[in-house]
Amino acid sequence: MNLEALFSCLSSSACAVTQVSTALIIGMLLFMVASGLSLIFGVLGVINFAHGAFYMAGAYIAFFTYQATSSFLAAFLAGAAGVGLIGVIFERFVISKVYGKDILMQLLVCYAVILIFDDLVKMVAGPEYKMMGMPEVFALPPLELAGGFVPAYYVFMIGASLVIGLGLWLAIEKTRMGKIVRALAINPQMVGALGINTTLLYAAVFGIGSALAGVAGALAAPTRTLTPGMGLSILIESFIVTVIGGMGSIVGALIAALLIGFTRAFGAIGFPLFVDGMMFGMMAIVLIIKPSGLLGREVTR
C-alpha cells in the first residue's frame, strides 16, 4: 500500500490528468466488451464466457488487416465484422445446442472455444507478443490539458466508444427493431407467434454482442500488446462490470466500467497488488446489497 503516492498524484494536476485518461480508456474498453456480454445475457439468457476470446480475435483480425492494408479504418471494420460473423457461427453451431441446459454446459462449451481460439492464434500468429503500433492517422501531437498530456488516439477511442454505446442504446430503446429485441428477451414464444423469425433474431443479437467485443479488440490493438490468452483478464473484468452494473443494462455497464477503470488507474499507484482484490470486493458488496446489480432488473427466466 502506498497511499502517499496516490495523494501526491491526485494533488498534481499533470499526474491526475494522465491517470484520468488512463481510467477512461480502460473503462471504455471494458464498457464495449461488457455491453456485448450484457446484451447477449439480457436477450438470450446465456452467459458468453467466450467473450474474452472474441475480444482477442478482434484485436488479431485488426492487427493483420492493418499489416495488409495499413488503413486503421479497414482494420477497425474488419475486426468488428469478422468477430460479428464468428459470433453468429458460434451461436448457430455451438451455443444454440445448449440453450435451456444448465449453466455448466454453457460454461464448458465456452471454455472449449477459449482453448481452441488461444491455440489457433498461437498457430497463426505465433506465441510471441505482437505490437500493432500507432496508426499514422493518429500520429498527432498529444493534447495538453491542465499540465497533463493525453494522446490523440485516447481521445478518439473514448469518443468512438461513447458513440457506439449511444448508438446501441438508441437502437434498443428507440427503434422498432429494438422493441422486438426487448420483447424477445421477455417472451420469445409470443414474438415467434407474431410471425417473427426468432432463430434469426437470436443469431443477429449474438452477432452484434460479439461484434462489440471485436470493436473493443480492434480499438485496443494500437495501445496494447497482443498475446494469445489476452482475452482472459478482460473476460474476468467485464464480468465484474456486468455484475456491478446489472445484467442486461447498457447504462449500468457504462457506470460500472468507469468505476472499474478509475479503480484500476488510481489503484495502480496507491495499491498495485490489491487492485484485483478491490474490484472483487466491490463486486461482492454489490451482490450482497443488490444481487441484480446497480441498474439491473430481476431475471425471470
Under the rule (CB under 8 A), what is the footprint of another protein?
Answer: 47, 94, 97-98, 101-105, 107-109, 111-116, 118-120, 122-123, 236, 239-240, 243, 271, 273-274, 276-278, 280-281, 283-284, 287-288, 291-292
Nearer to another protein, 133 or 291 (CB): 291
Nearer to another protein, 73 or 112 (CB): 112
Beta carbon of residue 50, minimum distance to another protein (angstroms, whole number): 11
Beta carbon of residue 244, minimum distance to another protein (angstroms, whole number): 10
Cell of 236: 474476468
- State the DSSP H helix or E strand holding residue 179, giving kind and residue range, or none if neither: helix 176-186
Alpha carbon distance 93, 34 (integer Å) = 23
Beta carbon of residue 235, minimum distance to another protein (angstroms, whole number): 10
Alpha carbon distance 277, 115 (integer Å) = 26
Beta carbon of residue 87, minimum distance to another protein (angstroms, whole number): 17
Helix (H, G, I), strand (E, B) or coil at 60: helix
Nearer to another protein, 44 or 113 (CB): 113
Nearer to another protein, 123 or 170 (CB): 123
Q: Crossing angle, helix 72-93 and helix 198-220, to 10 degrees?
A: 140
Written as one letter, the residue type at 267 is G
Q: Crossing angle, helix 72-93 and helix 51-69, to 10 degrees?
A: 140
Nearer to another protein, 161 or 263 (CB): 263
Q: Crossing angle, helix 250-270 and helix 13-44, to 10 degrees?
A: 140
Alpha carbon distance 130, 127 (integer Å) = 9
Beta carbon of residue 105, minimum distance to another protein (angstroms, whole number): 6
Nearer to another protein, 167 or 277 (CB): 277
Beta carbon of residue 227, minimum distance to another protein (angstroms, whole number): 14
What pairs with residue 150 in β-bridges?
Answer: 143
Indicate the Cα dihedral angle 288, 294, 298, 301, nearest 10°: -100
